[in-house]
Structure 1
Amino acid sequence: MKGIGAVMEQPPSPNRLGDRIGKVLIIAYKESTDLLEKTLREEGLTAEVVRQEENPAMQDFSPSYRCLLNHRSAWEKALNEPQPTLIVEADFVPVRGFGQLPLSYPGDRTEALGIAWLYTCAPQIYSVSQDGYAQGFSTAMVAYIITNHSAKYLIQLAERIKNEIGPKNYSAWDSEIDVFLRQHKFKNYVPFRNYGEHGGRPNPEHSKHQLSCSHRADVLYGKLAFLPLYACEAREGTVKLLEVRLKARIKGIGRLVMGRYIRLAILKRSSVPGRLLSFALRRHLTLRL
């Protein structure tokens, strides 16, 4: 892994993640964030940890709503940042060289940036620009970039969830973000490959609502900087990692083959369907798990 000195020796780049981020926020509850913070520092990124405080009034709140409150706290901090803000959950595991990876959106044109996911779950692409930036859909808020402008609208979405669904009820609020931001004329971007893995335990609330218990990155940019929690807790950590990653790769390729990564209707409407297909196929053409 490159140290801070090696990172700082390189000239700033308009297309390199580490050179375009103003603030990094780690959303946490009781989890240890030491290893994640250390990894980010070695990539030239210093993070602030945003922890949810114990509050008896929140005891009956749905876990999904408590998660939303965590992210809302980060969005409120992003309101005051002139540069884009990177937000990651405590169980995010970056790949090596995270800060040197290319941006998934045009870094010099952030006025219309709604959200740029660095980790995707159930991704779809709508279009791919001539420069190779893909607009699309994702759910799960494990790692993403927003601006002070889009943060204001995300807070509005949080208010709507509170008023229409309520704190005590489950809501898949993360799956509404793409549509909500596009309704307000923002552009949302999905990465060519994932910048890291979701390393946390399965969410039991998901299975109660007929959703997948766990989600993992379908394809990664490179090797992970450290073992995810799900591998650390296993007797044979490396074997568990390979098993999980293999399943995620197979699932990702399956979604591509079944037309879930690129919908047939999207291809038919596109003026450059070959560009979309090329992006999708190249995304999965790697032997790395």
Structure 2
Amino acid sequence: METCSKDGLTRTQLVDCISRVLIIAYKESTQELEALLTSEGFDVEVLRQEAKPEYQNFSRSYLCLMNHCRAWQRAMQAAQPTIIIEADFVPVVDFGELPLPFNPNQNDVGISWLYTCAPQLYYVSSDGYAEGFSTSAVAYIVNPQSACYLLELAEEIRTNVGVTNYSTWDSTIDSFLRQKKLKNYIPWRNYGEHGGLPNPEHYQNKLSKTHRADVLHGKLAFIPLYAVGKNDGNLRLLSVRFWARIKGITRLLTGRFLRVKVLQGSSSPIRLLSFAVLRQLTLNV
């Protein structure tokens, strides 16, 4: 089936061109997420990391990378692109019907983020697909070729940074895949929310403890973990989403989503500016 995107163009739905969804987890409950994705028509598999004695001194960032490596190994063997999501990702309603963020007939696609953190816009094609940057691995699409390259990146991290040291490996994905002559894509709006609790390792390394979607494609399918079990859960959700929207709009106005140099060097600046501004013009929190 096909769906109509925000620009009126007909696009392929996610569920029609994805081999399977791999959920990366440790001890988190994934029952609600699995049930939702299965009901959307996806083939779902959960990859849980085992607690082994040899992992005791590994940094949390490297343990996370190891989880993604297992998923990349599976994605290398798939006939179609694979969605990889972390256990605390909360999709929007009708997730499977959302448009594929890149041209399915293109053979130089690297990664396509479905959830973005600190996103940047590089280029928008005439058919509305947006090349860009994100520094998150919460939810994304890879194909066999890009999965193979990402395993090379993981080996570089292991060799150059080490298993016990903290690394922002997910922030290097874009540049690494571009060096391989691949193009990376961001969605019109986020296909879900990062529902995780604050990460102390990020804070210890002078990064923000949390990150949220700057703008959502629609209503969330269920309540994120950060608002579950609280007396004021709905108020907490609205508050978090409100400030995430404010942060996203601020990044747009200060030239961090669409940088001035990118706009000035573009052959289609109106298309870039339109994409950047219109994505924030929604009442969805």
Task: Give the TM interval when normalised to the shorter protein.
Answer: over 0.9
CA contact (8 A) 1:24 1:87 kept: yes
1:245 aligns with 2:241: yes
Alignment match, 1:283: 279
Map of 2:93 onto structure 1? 96
- Aligned to 2:207, the other structure's residue is in SS state coil
Q: What is the match of residue 76 of structure 1?
A: 73
Provide the C-alpha distance between the structure 2 equivalents of 1:158 and 1:184, rounded to a whole number of angstroms.
15
1:137 maps to 133
Instruction: Tell me the equivalent position of 1:208.
Output: 204
Over aligned residues, Cα RMSD in angstroms? 0.9
How far apart, in 2, do the equivalents of 1:211 and 1:268 lie? 30
Contact 1:37 1:46 in 2 (8 A): no
Q: Does 1:231 align with 2:219?
A: no
Give the equivalent residue in structure 1 for 2:189: 193
Number of paired residues?
A: 278
> Distance between the aligned counterparts of 1:38 and 1:17, measured in 2?
17
Stretches of structure 2 lacking an aligned partner (at least 5 in a row): 4-10
- Corresponding residue of 1:165: 161
- Of 42, 45, 53, the match for 1:45: 42
Residue 10 of structure 2 corresponds to residue 16 of structure 1: no
TM-score (norm 2): 0.96
Query: How much does 1:233 deviate?
Result: 3.4
CA distance in structure 1 between the aligned counterparts of 2:173 and 2:210, rounded to whole angstroms: 20
2:180 maps to: 184
1:23 CA drift (Å): 1.4
1:12 positional shift = 6.1
| SS of corresponding position for 2:119 | strand
- For 1:144, the aligned partner's letter is Y
Q: In the aligned structure 2, how far is the partner of 1:96 from the partner of 1:42?
A: 11
CA–CA separation in structure 1 for the residues paired with 2:135 and 2:179 = 17
Task: Give the C-alpha shift of residue 100 in structure 1.
Answer: 0.3
> What letter is aligned with 1:175?
S
- For 1:240 and 1:88, locate their aligned partners in 2 and report how far apart those are by CA, in whole Å: 24
Report if aligned partners of 2:19, 2:43 keep a CA contact under 8 Å in 1.
no
State the shift of 1:108 in Å. 2.2
Any gaps of 5 or more consecutive residues in structure 1? Answer: 1-10
2-structure distance, mates of 1:251, 1:217: 10
Q: How does 1:54-65 map to 2 (within 5 A)?
A: 54-65=51-62
Q: Which residue does 2:6 correspond to in 1?
A: none
For residues 77-111 of structure 1, what are the alpha-carbon distances to aligned partners after superposition, in whole Å with 9 as ceiling and x for unaligned? Answer: 111001000000000000000000111111222x1
1: CA distance, partners of 2:139 / 2:2: 23
Residue 4 of structure 1 corresponds to none
Q: List 4+ stretches of structure 1 deviating above 3 A.
A: 11-14
